Amino acid sequence: MNSEMDATFVYLIVFLLTIVSYSFWKLDHKRGSAGSRSNKLPPGSMGWPYIGETLQLYSQDPNVFFLTKQKRYGEIFKTHILGCPCIMLASPEAARFVLMTQAHLFKPTYPKSKERLIGPSALFFHQGDYHAMLRKLVQNSLSLEKIRNLVVDIDSLAASVLDSWNGGRVMNTFNEMRRFSFEVGVLMIFGHLDALYTEELKKNYWILDKGYNSYPTSIPGTPFKKAILARKRLAQILSKVICERREKKLLDNDFLGCLLNSKDEKGEILNDDQIADNIIGVFFAAKDTTASVMTWIVKYLHDNPKLLEAVKAEQLLVQKSNDQGKQPLSWSQTRNSMPLSHKVVLESLRMASIISFTFREAVADVEYKGFLIPKGWKVLPLFRNIHHNPEFFSDPQKFDPSRFEVAPKPNTFIPFGIGVHACPGNELAKLEMLILIHNLVTKFRWEVMGSQNGVQYGPFPVPMHGLPARFWKKESTS
Ligand code: HEM
């Protein structure tokens, strides 16, 4: 293009954008001013047509974007991101309204490409009877009675993953934590799975993971296409595992056992696709979430040497009462003998708020505090804004586990969500973190490498470059 054509092209684009912006503004304005107060949209700005404020969101730390908006417009505001008009809600009452008391008016919503990769029958895409039936199964497999039996195995998994870090090589802490949380996922889903199957699942799950946040396209060789192919292979592997279980008539008590034995009121069982979608769904929900928080724990302990010493003292006492670690860790120790470590876990969940918000879609026009939430708009309760509000957590940027000596006010601490879709894996996640802390502080010392303050999103926030660190096993554990 020559420069004259360039200029014409730019004018044309500006002209078109102005026309479309004006129509958007008119539509918004009409909605905002029509009729009663309940037809008023919340304050906020919708940005450019189509792209809305997506560029503003991604050109800075997303948390700064949300906090700036909250400061300017208050606890409820509108915006337009990722092609969707959205209402953001930054108060505990609003989160309760959307996720609990009026949850039937807000359905879960995910892009179709993500549904394809995980599997459309996974529970978190659903509402109503199917969701309730699956949720019972998942909750049963993750109940305290079930997970207490996993302590010894999780403890030996943590010990063996940590042993592989020994020697002072630079490790990507986040990737290592993903390895650990994947193995815990395998344990919870399949019990003791054949090592060959575990390797195949891991290999393909990793490819799926890489494609999850890539641009959805069917062009061969792209991360998304590779992920789709890996997803097919995962279904085949799972089908073999399911077939073997059925042939051997094993009535195991793990998650797969629960899925295989389940029957709804009409006596119908789950088919293989439904089982596979839910297994991959649980892996997806469990792995990077827990791994991100564990990576933050390593960083927070490293950055707070006094706290680390106190946590170490607590955990060395536990180790001592286990005959210097010769006896396995017990469930009751994880519940009763680690009060400080438990507060470190809670404070890490608050501080890192790795799930900054969740998405719902309004299924009808809804009125909230005199504002209209229009049908079809996305609704985002902002967990991180709530966790970082000084009204609920004084000096919110300070890592201070002692704040959890007093229980937080209702709905102000919701790292696992609330309501019908709240995380059924929260107790397992906390158990995993406590066991990791026990093994890490009693047996290792570590050093974090390079610049320590950046954050990367993938999509959960983790310390920059996955927190490169060196680990050394201590000579004596006493
Ligand atoms: C630190 C780790 C974790 C965090 C922060 C976390 C957080 C969450 C949150 C906020 C939700 C609700 C999302 C919403 O309402 O839209 C959720 C749902 C879910 N989580 Fe977790 N989670 C973690 C670990 C786990 C683990 C270990 C498992 C399983 C082993 C798990 C399984 C699930 C499932 C299946 C759902 C969907 C529930 C439903 O839709 O009914 N999560 N998680």
- Nearest CA owner, ligand 1 atom 39: 421
Ligand 1 pocket, 127 CB below 6 A? no
Angle between helix axes 339-352 and 272-303 (nearest 10 degrees) is 100
Ligand 1 pocket, 421 CB below 6 A? yes
Ligand 1, pocket-test mutation among 423, 434, 436, most atoms within 8 A of CB = 423
- Asked whether residue 423 is marked as a ligand-binding residue, the answer is yes
Ligand 1 pocket, 290 CB below 6 A? yes
Distance 314 CA to ligand 1 centre (A): 29
Distance 109 CA to ligand 1 centre (A): 15
Atom of ligand 1 nearest to the CA of 360: 16
Neighbours of 376 (CB within 10 A): 13
For residue 142, count CB atoms less than 10 angstroms from its CB and return exposed for 0-12, middle for 13-18, buried for 19 or more.
buried
Distance 37 CA to ligand 1 centre (A): 37
Ligand 1 pocket, 441 CB below 6 A? no
What are the chain's domains? 1-107+358-387 (3.30.43.20)
pLDDT in tens, the chain (478 residues): 344 444 444 444 444 444 444 444 444 444 433 334 457 999 999 988 878 888 888 777 778 888 999 999 999 999 998 889 999 999 999 999 999 999 999 999 988 889 999 999 999 999 999 999 999 999 999 999 999 999 999 999 999 999 999 999 999 999 999 999 999 999 999 998 999 999 999 999 999 999 988 888 989 999 999 999 999 999 999 999 999 998 887 667 899 999 998 887 787 889 999 999 999 999 999 999 999 999 999 999 999 999 999 999 999 999 999 998 889 999 999 999 999 999 999 999 999 999 999 999 999 999 999 999 999 999 999 999 999 999 999 999 999 999 999 999 999 999 999 999 999 999 999 999 999 999 999 999 999 997 668 898 878 899 999 999 999 998 764 4
Distance 428 CA to ligand 1 centre (A): 10
